Chains A and B, each alone.
Chain A
């Protein structure tokens, strides 16, 4: 019985509870309905506004046509002779009214034009680059930072961001997740992040932050934009890869009728190695000469409408790098040793670089997107000074300083015969920057298939030859590069 009474109570109370819930639901439904009614009314009001705007545009258009017709209608000659001043004033007034109305219509039309949802965001793009390769010798024989045999290298994943900072400057950043050559682990780094003025007077432009400083023709171009798979050896060793610096650069366009551009810059280090600072702590003090100074001058000559020649000269100076460069190392991480002093260690103390570059371009005006020939050559001279120090277990000798002058160059020719296809040949030779008796020669034919601006496959064969001094062996390698871009991608002045 108790159970039955309990169940009856439970039923009654739960019914009340359900009843309350139903009431609440009804209230909610009523609220929702009211909201929907409001929304419908708002939409109707919006429709009316749009219709009114359309009517206004039509009316204004008709009025313009009417007024324009009036202004174009010839006036009777008698009237002209009797009241020319009054007529001129009247015509001017009508014309003024027409112009005003045109402006009004244009502003309404502009306001109604479709806007992009991303228009307030900076331009953003991502670049990916994968290198599939086979090299027939191991890294001990090639001195490379990549292993021999089969290799897949996700060389970079770049995030590019750019936008105006204000009416006087623009800013950009390139974040790159590069794979570590030894561990293969990708680490995100700031490759570039700089501000650049856009409205300095006197033909000046100032850039500051982390950026690729202007030096030579290809040193400040990102890997995926190179005309071949790998950065030329001489740029890799003499500059340290891309010409990255943390500093400032001032560019000046000469105010003459011929194109001459001059650039000077100062930075903390230049290139990724070997002059990157790695010891400015513990109270170390840097003299002015401890910074890197660089500059470039370039010009251009239009030999014919289709043929142009662009020569340039560049210079880099690291007057003092004592206690900064540290021990020099090969790309694979092994310390550099002078062959005559086994086990010796080299420490960079200063360097200067001079370069001359020349680019000859044949780009027929009519179909330059389908046909072109580009020949580019760059010659570099490196003057590198370093201390040679003994190490325990190595050859015994007193530390001494040495200065080495070395030369290196690369030259390439690329022929494009359709929008999708191009092929070329790269020749390189180089003396080692700390031992000029160590010489390397390489050549690389390559072929590129670009399905579009944003999707490109490149096949390259490279034969590298070292002389006996290097202790390295000749090797052959085949590379397949696949580079792609999504999002925004600007066609920069440097990539022309």
Chain B
């Protein structure tokens, strides 16, 4: 038995010594950034330019609260200089465990590499209680502010600050990149605000409560969610009540995020006469939405098309 013990120690020690000597791939001098979602990755690429190497944990098609915890994420996070996250507990289902597994002290909560993009944003829907009768409620408020392009600018500012803090020698380049992107985004915001005028006051429902900030920014009316509560599937009674109230209030659009099944949203749309539209919640969620700007373009185009379809259907009746 003693021999066995000695053998066990020898093998592990030898393996440790050998493996520790394996050279890591050289990463030039790029700032290695891991983002949880694809919108943050897009912003980081825009601001960081050639100075950064960005990896997003999500590809765009995932639920923002349900990115699978893949072991392959761990080495990427282990080497990261910065971790950019949405904040407001948006990533509670996967990020804390991945952070622990990453064994990277630089990006842990409270360290300068932990970049909370929500800093400075006043959250909406902050619950009075975090009791689970309200479902999988976010204790710090609704975390889906990124769909509002004006608030996204705050996130961009936070990413910029973190990059400058990490690499002050590149401040000029980073400032130039940020200003150029913000100018582009401001121009698009002005364009989107004009485009969306016909949708002012238009009522819509969605599967999950992703659209609070977006609706307020663009003057739409967010009527409710298909989910009973965040993270809780709808019950037949809830669907029945939702259909009745949607009919009474003339809700014209059922917005389905691609992460959720189509069956119930389609059923609700059919029974209320609303138009069903599938729209992304982050870049890459549906085709032709690789960047944040393309995604917002697609969202506004999709909503306008849905409203038009509804009007045409009414006219034909």
* Residues of A that sit less than 8 Å from B by CB: 102, 105-106, 109-110, 113-114, 116, 118, 167, 198-205, 251-262, 264, 289, 293, 295, 298-300, 302, 305, 308, 310, 315, 317, 319-320, 350, 352, 363, 365-370, 418-420, 451-454, 486, 490-493, 496
Task: Judge if B49 is at the interface, Cβ distance under 8 Å.
Answer: no
B53 contacts partner chain A, Cβ-Cβ < 8 Å: no
Is B290 in the interface zone, CB < 8 Å from A?
no
Given contacts A317-B5, A453-B136, A420 and B78 within 8 Å (CB-CB): no
- Rounded to whole Å, the gap between the CB of A56 and the closest CB of chain B is 16
Do B68 and A199 touch across chains, with their CB atoms under 8 A apart?
Answer: no
Residues of A within 8 A of B261 (CB): 367, 370, 418
Given contacts A106-B120, A198-B100, A198-B108, contact A252 B16 (CB under 8 A): yes
Report the nearest A residue to B62, measured CB to CB. Answer: A365
CB within 8 Å for A253 and B103 given contacts A109-B120, A320-B1, A365-B61:
yes
B28 within 8 A of A: no
B96 at the A/B interface (Cβ < 8 Å)?
yes
A167-B8 contact given A113-B123, A253-B74, A256-B75, CB 8 Å threshold: no
Determine whether the beta carbon of A493 is less than 8 Å from that of B100: yes
User: Can you list 30 A-B contacts (CB < 8 A)?
Assistant: A102-B120, A106-B120, A113-B122, A114-B126, A118-B130, A198-B105, A199-B108, A203-B78, A255-B22, A258-B72, A259-B74, A259-B75, A262-B15, A289-B1, A289-B2, A298-B71, A302-B72, A305-B59, A310-B71, A317-B5, A320-B1, A363-B68, A368-B66, A369-B259, A452-B132, A452-B136, A486-B132, A490-B97, A493-B98, A493-B100
Extra contacts, 9 of them, besides A256-B22, A262-B16, A352-B4 (Cβ < 8 A), are: A102-B120, A258-B72, A368-B66, A369-B63, A369-B259, A490-B96, A491-B69, A493-B100, A496-B69
User: Are A295 and B8 in contact, CB atoms less than 8 angstroms apart?
Assistant: yes
CA distance A493 to B100 in the complex (A): 8
Whether A496 and B108, one on each chain, are in contact in the complex, defined by CB atoms closer than 8 angstroms, is no
Asked if B187 lies at the interface with its beta carbon under 8 angstroms from chain A, I say no
Q: Chain A residues near B96: list those with CB within 8 A.
A: 490-491
Cβ contact within 8 Å between B72 and A259: yes
User: B119 CB to closest chain A CB, in angstroms?
Assistant: 7
Q: Tell me the B1-60 residues at the A interface (CB within 8 Å).
A: 1-2, 4-5, 8, 12, 15-16, 19-20, 22, 24-25, 59
| Distance A254 CA – B258 CA, assembled complex (angstroms) | 37
Tell me the complex Cα distance, A486–B78, Å: 33
Collect the chain A residues with CB atoms within 8 Å of residue B136's CB. Answer: 452-453
Do the beta carbons of B68 and A365 come within 8 Å of each other?
yes
**9 nearest A-B residue pairs (beta carbon):** A300-B71, A319-B1, A199-B105, A106-B120, A259-B71, A496-B69, A366-B61, A493-B97, A369-B66
Q: Is the CB of B75 within 8 A of A258?
A: yes
Known: A114-B126, A256-B22, A491-B93. A204 touches B103 (CB 8 A): yes
Contact A308 B4, CB 8 Å, known A366-B62, A490-B96: no
* Complex: A81 Cα to B105 Cα, angstroms: 49
Give the A-binding residues of B (Cβ under 8 A). Answer: 1-2, 4-5, 8, 12, 15-16, 19-20, 22, 24-25, 59, 61-63, 66, 68-72, 74-75, 78, 92-94, 96-98, 100-103, 105, 108, 110, 119-120, 122-123, 126, 130, 132, 135-136, 139-141, 157, 231-233, 258-261
Interchain CA distance A203-B79 in the complex, whole Å: 10
CB-CB under 8 A from A496, the residues of chain B are 68-69, 97
Known contacts A366-B62, A367-B259, A493-B101: A255-B20 contact under CB 8 Å: yes
CB atoms of B59 and A365 under 8 A apart: yes
The answer on a CB contact under 8 Å between B135 and A452 is yes
For the complex, what is the distance from the CA of A430 to the CA of B12, rounded to whole Å?
Answer: 29
Cβ–Cβ contact B78 & A255, under 8 A: yes
Q: How far, in angstroms, from A260 to B69 measured CA to CA in the complex?
A: 15
B33 → chain A closest CB, angstroms? 17
Task: State the Cβ distance, B132 to closest chain A Cβ, in Å.
Answer: 6
* Distance of A460 Cα from B275 Cα, bound (Å): 43
Nearest A residue to B20, CB-CB:
A255
Are A257 and B97 in contact, with the CB atoms below 8 A? no
Are the CB atoms of B231 and A167 closer together than 8 Å? no
Please give me the residue from chain A that is nearest to B59 by CB atom.
A365
| Chain B residues closer than 8 Å to A300, beta-carbon distance | 70-72
Q: Which single residue of chain B is at the shortest CB-CB distance from A71?
A: B179
Question: Closest Cβ of chain B: how far from A50's Cβ, in Å?
Answer: 15
- The contact of A256 among B24, B130, B260, by CB within 8 Å, is B24
The answer to whether A116 touches B130 (Cβ under 8 A) is yes
A490–B261 alpha-carbon span in the complex (Å): 26
**Closest residue on chain B to residue A301 by CB atoms:** B72
Chain B: CB-nearest residue to A264? B12
Please name the residue on chain A nearest to B24 by beta carbon.
A255
Contact A257 B8 (CB under 8 A): no
Q: Nearest Cβ in chain B — how far from A354, in angstroms?
A: 11
Contacts of B126 in A (CB 8 A): 113-114
Residues B259 and A289 in contact, CB atoms below 8 Å apart: no
Supposing A109-B122, A319-B1, A368-B62 touch, asked if A253 and B8 sit within 8 A by C-beta, the answer is no
Residues of A within 8 A of B8 (CB): 293, 295, 315, 317
Q: A109-B122, A204-B103 are in contact. Are A319 and B62 (CB under 8 A)?
A: no
Chain B residues in 8 Å Cβ range of A289 = 1-2, 5
Residues of A within 8 A of B258 (CB): 366
- Shortest CB-to-CB span from B86 to chain A, Å, is 16
Query: Which A residues lie within 8 Å of B68 (CB)?
Result: 363, 365, 368, 496
Contacts of B4 in A (CB 8 A): 317, 319, 352
Name the B residues within 8 Å of A453 (CB-CB): 136, 231
> Hey, which chain A residues are within 8 Å of B69, CB to CB?
491, 493, 496
A470 to B123, CA, bound (A): 64
